[in-house]
Amino acid sequence: MDSFLTTHLPQLTRSRIKQLISDGLVSSSSGKPVKPGQKIRGDETFEVSLPEARPIEALPEDIPLNVLYEDSDIIVIDKPAGMVVHPAAGHFQGTLVNALLFHCKDLSGIGGMLRPGIVHRLDKGTSGVMLATKNDQSHNAMAKQFKSHSISRKYRALIYGQIASSGTVDLPLGRNPNDRKKIAVINGGREAVTHWKLLASYQGLSLVELTLETGRTHQIRVHLSH
C-alpha cells in the first residue's frame, strides 16, 4: 500500500505515507481506513487526508542569562559565543529566544513566533551585547534607531596578519552562488560597510575595533577576509 501511494504521490515521502496510514488518514473508496500491508485491487480509489500543518513555535527554556539592563520595555543581554539567537533549521532549542521566553513575561510579537523580541542579531560564534524588546512599541522604536544608525555598534576582533591603522571596507554581500550556506562579496549584493581601527598588534596578530554601518550576516568575517 505505501509503495503504491508513494508512486502516485511523489510529493510525499514513503515514511510520511506510512505515518499517515498508521494515523488512519488513508481510506479506501468504502470509507474504511487502509492497512499498511493491504493488497491493491484494480478498481479501487483512495483518499489521503493531510492534517493541517502546525506552526513551529519557540518554547521557553530555563537557560541562565547575563542581564546587563532590564526595564518594562527592553532587556539587554551579554550573549555568549556559541549561542544561536533564534530558532532555525537545526537549532530549535538552546537559543537566546528560548531563554528570553522563560525569563520575560512578555516579548514583542513583531518578529513572529520564532523571533519574538529580536531587533538585531549576533552570529552564533560572536559574543556581545544584545537588546530585545518586550512590547511592539519599544520594538518599533528600537528598530527605527538601528535603521537610522542613532544606535552605534562596535565590535572587537583578533585577526591574523598586519592591518593599516584604520580604514573602511565597502563591499556588497550576498549568498555564495556555489554554496548557499556561505556569505561572500557579490556584485549586486546588499550594501555592507565596515569601518576598522587598529588597537594593538603583536607577533602577526592584530586587535581591531570595528564599527558597522550595516548589519549583514557574517559581515565582519567576510569583510576582514578582504
Question: What HEC string does 150-169 produce?
Answer: CCCCEEEEEEECCCCCEEEE
Residue with cell 581601527: 197
Cα torsion for 85, 91, 97, 102, to the nearest 10°? Answer: -140
Distance separating the N- and C-terminal Cα atoms of the chain: 57
Rounded to 5°, the CA angle 111-123-115 comes to: 15
- Taking every pair of Cα atoms in the chain, the longest distance, rounded to a whole number of angstroms, is 81
Nearest to 115 by CA among 181, 75, 56: 56
Q: Where are the beta strands (DSSP E) in the chain?
A: 26-28, 46-48, 67-70, 74-79, 128-133, 154-160, 166-170, 173-176, 179-185, 193-202, 205-212
Residue 100, helix vs strand vs coil = helix
Residue from 23, 123, 136, 170 carrying the catalytic annotation: 123
C-alpha cell at 108: 514583542
Q: Establish whether 123 is a catalytic residue.
A: yes
Q: What positions carry a catalytic annotation?
A: 123
